[in-house]
Structure 1
Amino acid sequence: MAGEITETGELYSPYVGLVYMFNLIVGTGALTMPKAFAAAGWLVSLVLLVFLGFMSFMTTTFVVEAMAAANAQLHWRRMQTPKEEEDDDSSTASDSDFLQDNYEQAEKLPILSVQRRGSPSLFGITDRVEMGQMASMFFSKVGVNLFYFCIIIYLYGDLAIYAAAVPFSLMQVTCAAGNDSCGVEADSKHNDTDVCWGPMRRVDAYRLYLAAFTLLLGPFTFFDVQKTKYLQILTSLMRWVAFATMIVLALVRIGRGHGEGRPPLADLSGVRNLFGVCVYSFMCQHSLPSLVTPVASKRHLTRLVLLDYVLILAFYSLLSFTAIFSFRGDSLLDMYTLNFARCDVVGPAAIRFFLGLFPVFTISTNFPIIAVTLRNNWKTLFHREGGTYPWAVDRVVFPAIALAPPVLVAFCTHDLESLVGITGAYAGTGIQYVIPALLVYHCRRDTQLALGPGALNKHRSPFRHTFWVAFVLLWALFCFFFVTANIVLSETQL
């Protein structure tokens, strides 16, 4: 399964990479998809899910092509720069300086020489080039700043979703137990001012759990946290046990004739949230460099990615369709696992509590890691060449900036479907559509200038024509205006 140890870490087979990508994409967004499916109608949901899956696959191939082009730039630099000069200048020269040197070298060399340099090994993805580094290689200074801004907004949305999901799940499970109920209430239209236990209201319990969540996990933002291999294995195992259990229980419920769902064919009023949820649920582009680079053999990488997307589409469809035909649309909760915390759905208390508290275990392990990533992105955005931050700014200000806004958002609302929808519709559109399209456009242009028109990128996207880049950008623009118009209309109708 695993291979040798390199600079990029432990190499693994393409099929292990396929599993890792599957695990990366299928996450929290999948738990909010059933309710969005029920609200938009099963036919509209299926069509939109397939189309957005296709768009995500296209931009994934764009990012892989940009990674190969960035590796080619780095490999070309090493071949053109003597070892001694590379050792002396590596700490001071920037990627843009090396890129300019490549242009000058390419203009002096014969075309045939450039074509030989464009051999398949030149575009091998051997160096892990993160999206921020690719942005610095192919974008202007303004483009780099906009890239980091988009990443930061997305991470804030991610943290707000996580900060709301854990207290919400705890509130649903414990309030039901406190009211002598055998599980979460079937009606999702509950009132936050309803009594939870004793004199405490549901909203008070939610905020109490949010405070405890912040106090327990928030301090990790002020330190360096790394996800361990064993933690990944544990959270992945729990996730797949939970997903498989929910699908089987829903199928059994339908098979016994207890299915309550009568989803409509189409309801355009629910498309806005469905769109955001689907975009969020296909998000993987920002993590592709860390995922793809360690794959030992990349000969059939595009086919494997396509297979992954087909499997993910099938899984999302199975999860959502079993949900909307098993439960009434008005009874589906924002976090789908909570529907199985009811005793009229699941008998054994152990299964009810496992599924009801499943988001608490898995999301809690990811929250500190994403918070540290957000903190580091803020530091990178404001970093000045050769400058350092004072201790208080580095260890107090930046972590506080990363932690405070998502906790405040979670304090104000626990509407997970809207949080996921807005995060996916805005920041998700930028990361999944705009940034990959601009990266592949600029990397193609820069590769031709630096290496000549004969340089062939063996990892180039099947969507090679400029039309596809323009199509993705136009689609992103349409999505932005569509979601904004729907939000404005929703607000005016209230």
Structure 2
Amino acid sequence: MAGEITETGELYSPYVGLVYMFNLIVGTGALTMPKAFASAGWLVSLFLLVFLGFMSFVTTTFVVEAMAAANAQLRWKRMENRQEEDDDSSSTASDSDSLVQDNYERAEKRPILSVQRRGSPNLFEITDRVEMGQMASMFFSKVGVNLFYFCIIIYLYGDLAIYAAAVPFSLMQVSCATGNDSCGVEADTKYNDTDLCWGRLRRVDVYRIYLAVFTLLLGPFTFFDVQKTKYLQILTSLMRWVAFTIMIVLALVRIGRGHGEGHPPLADLSGVRNLFGVCVYSFMCQHSLPSLLTPVSSKRHLTRLVFLDYVLILAFYSLLSFTAIFCFRGDSLLDMYTLNFARCDIVSAAAVRFFLGLFPVFTISTNFPIIAVTLRNNWKTLFHREGGTYPWVVDRVVFPTITLVPPVLVAFCTHDLESLVGITGAYAGTGIQYVIPAFLVYLCRKDTQLALGPRAANQHRSPFHHTFWVGFVLLWAFSCFLFVTANIVLSETKI
């Protein structure tokens, strides 16, 4: 029942879970998607978007199945522990001869595999929140667990670098708006980082000043524990939807009036690399599914709801990107799509221009400390030894420092958001979205058969339960890795 309090927190209805999942997936990646669409061509972009959305849905069902299998194993271990405790307590009341005889008779009567109990659908009910790290420790070898944490850490570093670059870049674009009326970037104007902004200060200097202020204000949160509040989540979600709605409506109005400037090509393979990374990044949710789906009160039609979510997200991404590429010329689209609405001929109201221009600042700034703390805790888990503790300096200084410094340095060197999102999604994102779920579901199936018997029925089994799909996902991930790497090497060679 919605509103019920459990160990996983307050339960909510499946449709509330659908909204939460939608909000989780539709984030920063959506703001970089229009430029990637324009670079790769609308037909190629649409095909790749649909295909990557489908692949993400497949691996999402893999993670849900692994969550159910992990819950079943934890539940069965608790049942066995209770049985052993009952056996021990009853045994202490008898003498040694009767103890041997009773234990022998009990062992003879107990079935080797309790298929009927173990095959019960309730055994696979997802009630315990089992995070991906815990599932990795249950089903992976020690090497696999270390590789899992390495992949998560690289992805979080990319996330922080994107956030650290997006906020100063947005502030720089807004504050360096040209013209006496501060109407922003003109349609035919191209700016370089060496162009002047404030007096003798170049645009890149202003960007780095904002980056320093951003680091000084939000960096200290890395050294403490931060929790996302419910009200902060509601506020950022509301701002996100207001901003997206305004941009889509403004683009549609401009196109409807015949003022659309965009004439995107059908296909341009040179832009596929960044588009691939952006699309993978924009469908990223697998690492947060346990926290997101476990509190759903009724999971009877969970797969259908997830599928509906993906259909809605595909429709939204398509609407946002197609209105963008037909409203603006491809060479005028900025990395952060909101900044294209800083022009007076697009938006006459100054308040709306500033709201859209500063939208990434508000939403990303609230997420940066949370991602930083998550990365710091993953570093601690990776190097943690059973029963060991870290010295105060290592715990409170070293781990936060190695968390904060690398992404800030990357943001200091570049604010090319499209490339940052593309590389993060293409490499670490491929591992989290494809490789890890594929291995998780494959190994959890083998483990479940050994522990619970071949007739154990997982009601949350993926519709893509044939081993072919596991192999196909891994083959696709490997192909993507090779393609992106080869594309980067060829690009560098041409330069």
TM > 0.5: yes
Alignment of 1:203-214 (within 5 A): 203-214=204-215
How far apart, in 2, do the equivalents of 1:83 and 1:202 lie?
69
Q: Tell me by how many angstroms 1:296 deviates.
A: 0.2
Q: 2:124, 2:458 within 8 Å by CA — same for their partners in 1?
A: yes
Q: 1:106, 1:452 within 8 Å by CA — same for their partners in 2?
A: no
Letter in 2 for 1:7: E
Q: 1:272 to 1:108 in 2, by over 3 A?
A: farther
How far apart, in 2, do the equivalents of 1:146 and 1:431 lie?
11
Deviations 1:444-482 (A, max 9, x none): 000000000010100000001000000000000000000
SS at match of 2:11: strand
1:316 aligns with 2:317: yes
Deviations 1:90-128 (A, max 9, x none): xxxxxxxxxxxxxxx999953672233220100000000
Letter in 2 for 1:342: R
Partner of 2:60: 60
Partner of 1:415: 416
Alignment of 1:348-359 (within 5 A): 348-359=349-360
Partner of 1:136: 137
Deviations 1:178-232 (A, max 9, x none): 8753113435742100000111100000000000000000000000000000000
Question: What is the aligned length?
Answer: 477
Partner of 2:10: 10
Partner of 2:222: 221
Partner of 1:440: 441
Q: 2:160, 2:371 within 8 Å by CA — same for their partners in 1?
A: yes
Partner of 2:370: 369
Partner of 1:292: 293
Q: 1:62, 1:436 within 8 Å by CA — same for their partners in 2?
A: yes
How far apart, in 2, do the equivalents of 1:375 and 1:189 lie?
39
Alignment of 1:15-414 (within 5 A): 15-82=15-82, 110=111, 113-176=114-177, 181-187=182-188, 189-414=190-415
Alignment of 1:442-481 (within 5 A): 442-481=443-482
Q: 1:188, 1:330 within 8 Å by CA — same for their partners in 2?
A: no
Q: 1:115, 1:452 within 8 Å by CA — same for their partners in 2?
A: no
Q: 1:189, 1:330 within 8 Å by CA — same for their partners in 2?
A: no
How far apart, in 1, do the equivalents of 2:139 and 2:399 lie?
27
Partner of 1:484: 485
Q: 1:276, 1:424 within 8 Å by CA — same for their partners in 2?
A: yes
Letter in 2 for 1:311: L
How far apart, in 2, do the equivalents of 1:178 and 1:396 lie?
46
How far apart, in 2, do the equivalents of 1:108 and 1:201 lie?
82
How far apart, in 1, do the equivalents of 2:189 and 2:297 lie?
47
Deviations 1:411-469 (A, max 9, x none): 00000000000000000000000000000000000000000001010000000100000
Structure of greater Rg: 2
Q: 1:391 to 1:179 in 2, by over 3 A?
A: farther
How far apart, in 1, do the equivalents of 2:335 and 2:107 lie?
56
Letter in 1 for 2:74: L
Q: 2:113, 2:452 within 8 Å by CA — same for their partners in 1?
A: no
Moved segments of 4+, more than 4 Å = 83-86, 105-109, 177-180
Q: 1:145 to 1:382 in 2, by over 3 A?
A: same
SS at match of 2:5: strand
Q: TM-score, normalised by structure 2?
A: 0.94
Q: 2:118, 2:453 within 8 Å by CA — same for their partners in 1?
A: no
Q: 2:30, 2:282 within 8 Å by CA — same for their partners in 1?
A: yes
SS at match of 2:127: coil
Q: Tell me by how many angstroms 1:49 deviates.
A: 0.2
How far apart, in 2, do the equivalents of 1:177 and 1:33 lie?
26
Q: Tell me by how many angstroms 1:82 deviates.
A: 2.1
How far apart, in 2, do the equivalents of 1:404 and 1:370 lie?
14
How far apart, in 1, do the equivalents of 2:327 and 2:400 lie?
43
How far apart, in 2, do the equivalents of 1:84 and 1:450 lie?
17
Q: TM-score, normalised by structure 1?
A: 0.94
Q: 1:466 to 1:188 in 2, by over 3 A?
A: farther
Unaligned runs of 5+ in 1: 89-104
Letter in 2 for 1:197: W
How far apart, in 2, do the equivalents of 1:134 and 1:349 lie?
50
Letter in 1 for 2:10: E
Letter in 2 for 1:245: I
SS at match of 2:114: helix
Say what the alpha-carbon RMSD is for the aligned residues. Answer: 1.8
Unaligned runs of 5+ in 2: 89-105
Partner of 2:91: none
1:424 aligns with 2:422: no
Q: 2:280, 2:429 within 8 Å by CA — same for their partners in 1?
A: yes
Q: Tell me by how many angstroms 1:57 deviates.
A: 0.1
How far apart, in 2, do the equivalents of 1:274 and 1:345 lie?
26
Identity %: 89
Q: 2:113, 2:453 within 8 Å by CA — same for their partners in 1?
A: no
Q: Tell me by how many angstroms 1:51 deviates.
A: 0.2
- Greater mean deviation of Cα atoms: 453-462 or 108-117: 108-117
Q: 1:115, 1:451 within 8 Å by CA — same for their partners in 2?
A: no
Letter in 1 for 2:220: P
Q: Tell me by how many angstroms 1:407 deviates.
A: 0.1
Letter in 2 for 1:408: L
- Greater mean deviation of Cα atoms: 169-178 or 23-32: 169-178
SS at match of 1:190: coil
Q: 1:107 to 1:175 in 2, by over 3 A?
A: farther
Partner of 1:101: none
Q: Tell me by how many angstroms 1:3 deviates.
A: 1.7
- Greater mean deviation of Cα atoms: 76-85 or 138-147: 76-85
